[in-house]
């Protein structure tokens, strides 16, 4: 399981995961496991922002521009969220 993300890590969505945006909420589907996940509003925003491969640092910067949050808090919360998504196979980290 991923332990932490550094600013230089490249993060991207797993292209095998289907997703759709309904009323600004993201629903994910993993065809392999037949599993569905509904993301809350902030998680949905993160997923939508991650439209192409980018560094963890770039993603943090984009989110800080939208939300009133310190770099340290953003880094910590985003790292935990991406750890979960990565463990589930929804995003990849390089």
Partner 1 sequence: MHNYTYFIFGYTISTNFKLPSLTQHRKTDNIDLNVIFNQQRLPECLDDENSRHFTFHNNTLDLWTNNDSLLMSYSIGIKALIKSDNEIFVDTKNNLPPKVTQHVLLQGILGLWLLKRGEFAIHGCTIKKGDSAVIFAGVSGVGKSTIAAACYDLGYQILSDDVSLIELTPNSIPSVIPSFPIIKVTPETLNKVIQNKASNLSPIPVIDKYEARLGDQFHHNKLKLEAVYCLSTSDKVNKLHFEALSGGEKFFSLLSNTYRNFMIDATNTGAKHFDFCTKLASITNIYSITRPTKGFYYREVIKHTLESFVPLD
For the bound state, the minimum distance from the C-beta of residue 32 to partner 1, rounded and expressed in Å, comes to: 10
What tokens does 56 get?
């963890």
d(CA 29, CA 71): 31
d(CA 37, CA 58): 25
Q: CA–CA distance from 45 to each of 32, 33, 59 (Å)?
A: 25, 24, 11
| Closest CB to partner 1 among residues 24, 70 | 24
| Closest CB to partner 1 among residues 23, 68 | 23
For the bound state, the minimum distance from the C-beta of residue 26 to partner 1, rounded and expressed in Å, comes to: 8
Binding region for partner 1 (CB under 8 A): 18, 20, 22-27, 29, 31, 34, 36, 38-39
| Closest CB to partner 1 among residues 36, 67 | 36
């Amino acid at each position: 399981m991923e332990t932490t993300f550094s600013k230089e890590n490249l993060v991207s969505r797993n292209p095998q995961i289907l997703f759709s945006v309904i009323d600004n909420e993201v629903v994910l589907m993993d065809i392999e496991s037949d599993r569905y996940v509904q993301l809350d509003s902030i998680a949905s925003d993160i997923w939508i922002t991650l439209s192409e491969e980018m560094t963890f640092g770039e993603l943090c910067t984009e989110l800080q521009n939208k939300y009133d949050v310190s770099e340290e808090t953003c880094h910590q919360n985003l790292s935990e969220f991406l750890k979960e998504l990565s463990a589930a196979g929804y995003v990849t980290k390089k």
